[in-house]
Amino acid sequence: MGERTRGLQRWLNLRGCKPALTEDGVPGPATRSGIIETFRNTAAPAATPADLIQLAARLNCTVRQILAVAKVESAGGGWDDQGLLKCLYERHYLWRRVKMAVPFLSNPSPGGYTVDADKDGINDSWEKVADATLRFGAGFAFECASWGKFQIMGAHWKSLGYPTVLDMVWAMSRSEAAHYDAFARFIEANGLTKALQAINGDPENSRAFAKGYNGSGYAKYVYHLKIAAAWKTAG
């Protein structure tokens, strides 16, 4: 654990962690705070209209179709009001990896979602990611949350072409354009281009995308209806 934590501390320091961490391999409060604060960015540049047009051309779809997905996935925004990426920690994902119950962090059942139960101004999902990182490593912890404007699970980092899951989340924390790039990577890697192109105001035309993007249980959450409704008001 010591060498793993030391490597994480070095990684955070190289990306401007303030205050800089002592690279001692000790998974203490300073490192926990550094995990959260290094990814905080209150001045990330927004994607430009040109960025969106370029992405639509890349996916051979319309900007409106992309914005419809964004609206459903994260109410259109990629960060919370504290400058942290939208993040939803999934405790059952960690359970699958470690096969042990840990309060708040690992459980065979999904759930346990809270926003700021301890009222410290930090999204609870980020705190769970930080705590899971200190206990099990950044790879497991960051893979067990969905990130950013399009709520892409960290577990997809390799298939999307990122060097590590930390690099995936770091990229998204720097600019909104990186969220759109991650979305395009996901669409391309999972063969969802045609499904994305079919999205319009008819929920039936959004079913293929809903299933491919949100899983076989999409109908339970009327995801296809939400996408179609968002398309009507997007753009």
Sign of CA dihedral 98, 100, 102, 106: positive
Q: What would the pLDDT profile of 65-92 be if each residue is shown by its tens digit?
A: 999 999 999 887 899 999 999 999 999 9
Q: Phi and psi (nearest 5°) for 198?
A: -85, -15
Looking at the fold, whether 165 and 209 belong to one and the same domain comes out as yes
The 3-state DSSP class for residue 204 equals helix
Q: Is residue 44 part of a domain?
A: no
Q: What is the pLDDT of residue 33?
A: 97
Instruction: Looking at the structure, tell me whether residues 22 and 101 fall in a common domain.
Output: no
Both 77 and 98 in a single domain? no
Asked whether residue 189 falls in the same domain as residue 139, the answer is no
Q: Are 226 and 72 in contact (CB under 8 A)?
A: yes
Domain count, the chain: 3
Cβ partners under 8 Å of residue 169, min gap 6? 39, 85, 142, 147, 154
Question: Of 151, 131, 52, 54, which Cα lies nearest the Cα of 91?
Answer: 131
- Judge whether 14 lies within some domain: yes
pLDDT of residue 163: 97
Residues 158 and 197 in one domain: yes
Residue 211 lies in a domain: yes
- Give φ, ψ of 161 to 5 degrees: 90, 20
Task: Return the pLDDT at 219.
Answer: 79
Label residue 235 by pLDDT band (50, 70, 90): low
- Average pLDDT over every residue of 126-136: 97
Does 92 lie in the same domain as 73? Answer: no
Residue 30 lies in a domain: yes
pLDDT in tens, 167-223: 999 999 999 999 999 999 999 999 999 999 999 999 999 999 999 998 888 878 899
**Statement to judge: residues 160 and 234 lie in one domain:** yes
Position 220 scores a pLDDT of 83
- Domain interval for residue 61: 50-82+150-235
Model-level pTM? 0.94
Is residue 216 domain-shared with residue 104, that is, in the same domain?
no
Residues 168 and 65 in one domain: yes
Cα radius of gyration rounded to whole Å, the chain: 18
* pLDDT of 151 strictly over 80: yes
Q: Are residue 130 and residue 117 in the same domain, yes or no?
A: yes
What mean pLDDT do residues 2-8 have? 94
Would you say residue 177 lies in a domain? Answer: yes
Given 111, 128, 147, the domain boundary residue is: 147
Residues 179, 226, single domain; the answer is yes
Return all residues near 138 (Cβ < 8 A) that are at least 6 apart: 8, 11, 35, 165, 166
Question: Does 141 reside within a domain?
Answer: yes
Q: Helices 63-74 and 176-189 meet at what angle, rounded to 10?
A: 100
Q: For residue 125, which of 171, 80, 183, 182 has the smallest C-alpha distance?
A: 80
- In DSSP terms, 87 is beta-bridged to 147
Is 45 inside a domain boundary?
no
> Which residue, of 147, 173, 195, is where some domain finishes?
147
Residues 142 and 154 in one domain: no
